[in-house]
């Protein structure tokens, strides 16, 4: 007997899986997704995630084998934590507070994480601010049996450049793939709205969706306000538009709420704006689309323009989207400084995986494996959950990524020459 112990997420290709696994299509969403997890595990075992698309983290208990099986999706869109107690028990869950309240948990500060955090401004890698509490990293599954813990990696980003297609060919392939994905992202009876910043990624998601309303955040000071462009985009697409104007008082007043619900420190100021946006949208919607993932997949950030200039030197300093405080600065202010605890060590294995590939691919891979998981997806999950809003990210999909890993250097160069990358903000 297989029991679902904990699960959070959304399985996109549920209809296909229900048909393949003999599951009643008329079940409620919760019932059918639990059935999918159970029957997928019974059918494919540890390889079950190879057949699933979506956002998910879960734990299954195999009663017959007395084995716990836990898995996190390929990109880490949903969190999963675990902790081994001194008594040889395993505590686990998708929320930290669910673990620290259990018997056997010892609440201690992980000082090494503070040292990393001062550079990155988010919790990167498998460790957390709680000593002994770890994250199951993306693309991994965990097995706990007879008091022994095993972690296995079932998926990792791989890049196999294909130089035979043009930029237009790749753009068409992305477009056609997203057209296939969008019907899976929601059921016919679900009403969905869409976050809109005015950037290419969120605008594209809105254009490809059937969302009737777009939601945006704006500011009283015009030089910071992108919502004007977002409103024009919504008008062009024939959608309703809702704008939430953020005042300085709102921004600072909500910081304690953000930090409590984040469960660990996060120094990304956009988390505060996103929180306010989630809270405002949750007043009139239960589900909302968002465009996360495309910048990292397709090189959308301006800093990626420097990739060729950085060259092989990347592996000596590039650890992701943020690197604020240098080692000499941290050494001056920390009571305990360990010269062996360096942010670059988090990316060392990624550079080994991408040996021989071009610098842009290396930067992208570091951000996909470290920055997205530790900052962006964490923010989206924690703040939307706190608001009672479900976020679905159509562009964060293995089928979209599979296109990205084939785009060759010639097309990347053409994109840079045109000062853009395909379908990215």
Sheet of strand 67-72: strand arrangement: 2-11, 54-62, 67-72, 140-145, 148-153
79-118 per-residue burial string, b: 16 or more CB within 10 A, e: under 16: bbbbbbeeeeebbbbbbbeebbeeeebeeeebeebebbbb
Mean pLDDT of 200-208: 94
pLDDT tens digits for range 183-199: 999 999 999 999 999 88
User: What pLDDT does 423 receive?
Assistant: 36
What is the average pLDDT across 125-130?
Answer: 97
Q: For the whole model, what pTM was predicted?
A: 0.93
How large is the C-alpha radius of gyration of the chain? 22
| Per-residue buried b or exposed e for 140-149, using 16+ beta carbons within 10 Å of the residue's own CB | bbbbbeeeee
The H or E element that residue 84 is part of is strand 81-84
Tell me if 2-153 shares its fold with 167-297+336-417: no
CATH number of 167-297+336-417: 3.40.50.620
Residues 6+ apart with CB under 8 A from 225: 218, 219
Question: How are beta strands 67-72 and 140-145 bridged, if at all?
Answer: antiparallel
More confident: 116 or 300: 116
Listed by start position, the domains of the chain span: 2-153, 167-297+336-417
pLDDT digits (tens, 9 = 90+) for 318-355: 998 888 899 999 999 999 999 999 999 999 999 999 99
The DSSP string of 230-247 is: HHHHHHHTT-EEEEEEEP
Q: Which DSSP string corresponds to 368-388?
A: IIIIIIIIIHHHHHHHHHHHT
How far is 389 from 383, CA to CA, in rounded Å? 9
pLDDT at res. 304: 87
CB-CB neighbours of 208 under 10 Å: 18
The CATH class that applies to domain 2-153 reads alpha beta
Please give the mean pLDDT across all residues of the chain.
92
Helix (H, G, I), strand (E, B) or coil at 153: strand
pLDDT higher than threshold 90 for residue 160: no
Among residues of the chain, what percentage have pLDDT more than 90?
Answer: 80
Left if phi > 0, otherwise alpha if psi is -120 to 50, otherwise beta: which for 280? Answer: alpha
Residue 410: which pLDDT band, with cuts at 50, 70 and 90? low
116, 327 contact by CB (below 8 A): no
Coil/strand/helix, residue 125: coil
């Amino acid at each position: 007997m297989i029991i679902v112990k904990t699960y959070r997420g959304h399985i996109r290709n549920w209809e296909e899986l229900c048909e393949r696994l003999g599951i009643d299509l008329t079940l409620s969403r919760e019932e059918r997704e639990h059935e999918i997890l159970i029957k997928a595990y019974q059918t494919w075992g540890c390889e079950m995630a190879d057949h699933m698309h979506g956002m998910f983290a879960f734990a299954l208990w195999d009663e017959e084998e007395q084995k716990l099986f836990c898995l996190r999706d390929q990109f880490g869109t949903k969190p999963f934590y675990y902790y081994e107690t001194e008594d040889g028990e395993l505590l686990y869950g998708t929320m930290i507070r669910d673990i620290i309240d259990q018997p056997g948990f010892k609440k201690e500060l992980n000082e090494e994480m503070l040292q990393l955090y001062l550079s990155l401004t988010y919790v990167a890698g498998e460790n957390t601010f709680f000593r002994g509490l770890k994250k199951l990293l993306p693309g991994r599954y965990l097995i706990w049996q007879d008091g022994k813990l095993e972690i296995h990696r079932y998926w990792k980003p791989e890049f196999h450049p294909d130089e035979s297609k043009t930029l237009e060919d790749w753009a068409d392939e992305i477009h056609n793939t997203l057209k296939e994905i969008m019907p899976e992202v929601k059921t016919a009876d679900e009403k969905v709205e869409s976050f809109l910043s005015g950037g290419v990624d969120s605008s594209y998601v809105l254009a490809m969706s059937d969302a009737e309303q777009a939601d945006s955040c704006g500011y009283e000071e015009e030089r910071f306000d992108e919502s004007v462009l977002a409103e024009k985009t919504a008008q062009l697409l024939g959608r309703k538009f809702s704008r939430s104007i953020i005042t300085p008082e709102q921004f600072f007043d909500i910081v304690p709420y953000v930090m409590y619900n984040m469960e660990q420190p996060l120094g990304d100021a956009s988390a505060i704006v996103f929180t306010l946006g989630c809270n405002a949208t949750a007043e009139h919607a239960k589900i909302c689309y968002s465009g996360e993932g495309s910048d990292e997949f397709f090189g959308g950030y301006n800093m990626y323009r420097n990739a060729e200039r950085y060259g092989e030197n990347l592996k000596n300093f590039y650890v992701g989207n943020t690197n604020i405080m240098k080692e000499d600065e941290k050494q001056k202010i920390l009571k305990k400084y360990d010269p062996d605890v360096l942010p670059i060590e988090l990316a060392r294995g990624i550079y080994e995986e991408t040996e021989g590939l071009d610098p842009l691919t290396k930067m992208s891979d570091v951000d996909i494996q470290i920055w997205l998981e530790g900052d962006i997806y964490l923010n989206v999950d924690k703040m939307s959950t706190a608001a009672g809003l479900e976020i679905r990210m159509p562009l964060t999909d293995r089928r979209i990524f599979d296109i990205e890993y084939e785009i060759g250097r010639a097309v990347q160069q053409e994109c840079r020459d045109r000062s853009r990358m395909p379908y990215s903000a």
